[in-house]
Amino acid sequence: MSDQQSSLWHATTIVCVRKGKSVVVAGDGQVSMGDTVVKANAIKVRRLGSGDVISGFAGATADAFTLFERLEAKLEQYPKQLTRACVELAKDWRTDRYLRRLEALMAVADENVSLMVSGTGDVLEPSDGLIGIGSGGNYALAAARALIDQDGMDAETIARRAVEIASDICVYTNRNIVVEKLESK
């Protein structure tokens, strides 16, 4: 994506919250071009593999779908090994000529681990189980950190509230929130 295009397209707040036996990935639905909202109900969060991995993306939509497909292939190759699948994806993303041009970030989680995956080869596991990516990601991350120790707030409630708070701050984020949740056994 050229610098001009990246300055025109903004669109995402994704947050991943791990608390207790639950992990949740939540994202807003807004896609903007410049100062215009192009779509308000985009789905940027989905289940992958056999449904035991959840993911959200920030970045160009076509790039993200390509990465979702590639990650699903890696999950088939390395079943129940999310970290290994993400490392293999990150290696391909960095070295493959086609993939190298893709501009996106992914937050992925299974019942055991939450990871942020980037095109620079990063596969990062946050120490606190919280991830925020996209234009409102830092706002959502800060909100989730502030809420994580609140009694009576589960992972889904925290994730939804974090995206809502981000939507109050980031003009590229709305309150049309999509959530995917996994419960560990």
Catalytic site residues? 12
CA distance 172 to 164: 12
**Which H/E stretch holds residue 99?**
helix 97-100
First to last CA, the chain: 41
Reference 99, options 60, 153, 137; nearest CA is 60
CB–CB of 57/87 below 8 Å? Answer: no
Q: Which stretches of the chain are assigned E, i.e. beta strand? A: 9-10, 13-19, 22-27, 31-33, 36-39, 45-48, 53-59, 104-109, 114-118, 123-124, 130-134, 178-183
52: three-class secondary structure by DSSP: coil
CB–CB of 141/14 below 8 Å? Answer: no
CA distance 19 to 156: 9
